[in-house]
Amino acid sequence: GCGNWGKNLVRNFANLGALAVVCDSDPVKLEHVKREHRGVRVTDNFQTMLDDQDVKAIVVATPSDTHFDLAKRALLAGKHVYVEKPLARDVKHADELDELATKNNLVLMVGHLLLYHPAVNHLKDLIASGELGEILFVRSDRMNLNMARRDWNVLWDLAPHDISMMSYLLDCEDTQVSRVGGWDTHGDGLVDVAYLDLSFPVNGKDIPGQVRNSWVDPQKQVRLTVNGSLKTAVLNDAQTENKLALHSQTRDGRTVVEYPSYAATEPLNVECEHFLNCIATGERPRTDANNAYQVVRILSDVEKRLSGRPSARAALGVK
């Protein structure tokens, strides 16, 4: 797919000299690809790519409810696979894809982009070094205005970024959800505003956290806050400069703000290059199926919890 996000993957793999074919159902998008990337073939038939012996890997950037089927077909065809988040919508499907990839010695990588973000990785190093002190709380706010509303709820669209990033930063492989809330503000059954209260068991202690997602906020927010006993880190990815800031107070009450330096590399370029390196070396990706499983497990459970809630209109008595 070469839609809103897929076109960025097309650009990066083309820049890395690895793009052979682009598949999409929209002929207008395919014509644009032909103009922008000379020599790259286009098709509207997914099976054509699977049958092409010169194609060694498939990148799946389609609506999330199609990820499992397309990734499974690609793995069965003997292709390495990169799947945009989430890997699947069911934990059994995530397990099945992992088993297929392992059995056939194929790379299966999931597009948890923020684990390749230079600022996120620098923050991870700061946390590990004790620069922030004891971690007390972590919160991720991801909000925008999305009228497409293609996923079943906003959490499947946005929360994979937050859950994977927060778990990665805290080295937590057993993130738990303590509470969830959601509203379908349009009364159409699609949850477009939601929050998750999380718990991150780390070294015998549970670190509390929260995720807040929205499709109805006209002011885009992409902000992570990590509160430590010594310093608080704020990563504001909506800013073009000084994305990562460390806030602290002196003994006399003055506020100090530091802006750490880190490599200014495009995260998606790093991620795409990592996928190609894994194919070349056989290395297991940083964002492999095990990494993706936790996200799918959490969101599948949240989906069940949200399915039992009344719609916003029903709760208000609106017909």
Domain boundary assignment for the chain: 6-112+271-288, 114-266+299-312
9-31 pLDDT, tens digit per residue, is 999 999 999 999 999 999 999 99
Q: Read off the amino acid at residue 22.
A: V
Contact 130, 273 (CB under 8 A): no
Three-point CA angle 138, 179, 170, nearest 5°: 30
Whole-angstrom distance, CA of residue 150 vs CA of residue 215: 11
For residue 310, is pLDDT > 60? no
Contact 58, 84 (CB under 8 A): no
Whole-angstrom distance, CA of residue 81 vs CA of residue 101: 9
Task: For domain 6-112+271-288, give the CATH number.
Answer: 3.40.50.720
55-70 pLDDT, tens digit per residue, is 999 999 998 889 999 9
Report the side by side order of strands in the sheet with 57-60. Answer: 57-60, 80-84, 108-111
What is the pTM (predicted TM-score) of this model?
0.91
250-301 pLDDT, tens digit per residue, is 999 999 999 999 998 999 999 999 999 999 999 999 999 988 999 999 999 9
108: its two tokens? 């299966």
Whole-angstrom distance, CA of residue 78 vs CA of residue 100: 10
Give CATH superfamily name and number for 114-266+299-312. Answer: Dihydrodipicolinate Reductase; domain 2 (3.30.360.10)
Q: What percent of the chain has pLDDT above 90?
A: 87
Integer-rounded Cα Rg, in Å, for the chain is: 21
Q: When comparing pLDDT for 35 and 312, which is higher?
A: 35
* pLDDT at 153 (0 to 100): 87
